[in-house]
C-alpha cells in the first residue's frame, strides 16, 4: 500500500512510534521504537531474544502508532504485517537510526553477542488522526 505523504514525513523525522505485537495468549504487547521507512515499507530494528521479535516471528500482524513530536495532534495509526526479517544489514540500520534519533554515528548500547534484526512491515490499513 502507498503510504500518505504526511505519514512518510513522520517516519522520516525523529518521531517515536509504538509497535504493538500479539502475545502467545492473544494479549497485546506494545513497545516504543525508533522507526524509518524504505519507500512505502516501515522498518524497525531490535535485538534477538526479546519479546517483540518472538511475537512477530510467531504472528506477523502488528499495529503501529506514530505522532509528530512537535505536534502530537498529527498522528497516524497503521495496521499491517511483517513481510521480511533480516539480520544482514541490521547493524548498519541500527547505526542509521542512532544517527537519526541521537545524532551519533553508531548505536551506543551494543552488547557483546547481540544479534540485531531488522523487521520490514507492509501497511494494510492507515488512519490519520
Q: Could you read off the pLDDT of 14-30 as tens digits, one per residue?
A: 999 999 999 999 999 99
111 — pLDDT class (breaks 50, 70, 90)? confident
Q: Could you read off the pLDDT of 81-107 as tens digits, one per residue?
A: 999 999 999 999 999 999 999 999 999
State residue 107's pLDDT score: 94
Per-domain residue ranges of the chain: 5-128
Q: Which of 55, 69, 5 is nearest to 25 (CA)?
A: 55
State residue 129's pLDDT score: 87
Half-sphere exposure of 99 (CA within 13 A, CB side): 10
117 — pLDDT class (breaks 50, 70, 90)? very high
In CATH, 5-128 is 3.20.20.10: no
Amino acid at each position: 500500500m502507498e503510504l500518505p505523504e504526511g505519514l512518510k514525513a513522520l517516519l522520516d523525522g525523529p518521531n517515536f512510534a509504538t509497535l504493538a505485537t500479539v502475545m502467545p495468549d492473544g494479549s497485546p504487547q506494545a513497545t516504543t521504537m525508533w522507526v524509518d521507512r524504505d519507500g512505502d515499507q516501515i522498518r524497525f530494528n531490535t535485538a534477538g531474544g526479546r519479546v517483540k521479535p518472538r511475537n512477530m516471528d510467531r504472528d506477523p500482524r502488528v499495529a503501529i502508532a506514530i505522532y509528530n513530536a512537535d505536534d502530537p495532534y498529527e498522528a497516524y495509526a497503521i495496521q499491517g504485517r511483517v513481510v521480511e526479517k533480516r539480520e544482514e544489514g541490521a547493524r548498519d540500520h541500527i547505526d542509521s537510526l542512532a544517527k537519526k534519533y541521537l545524532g551519533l554515528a553508531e548505536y551506543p548500547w551494543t552488547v557483546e553477542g547481540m544479534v540485531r534484526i531488522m523487521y520490514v512491515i507492509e501497511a494494510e490499513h492507515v488512519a490519520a488522526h
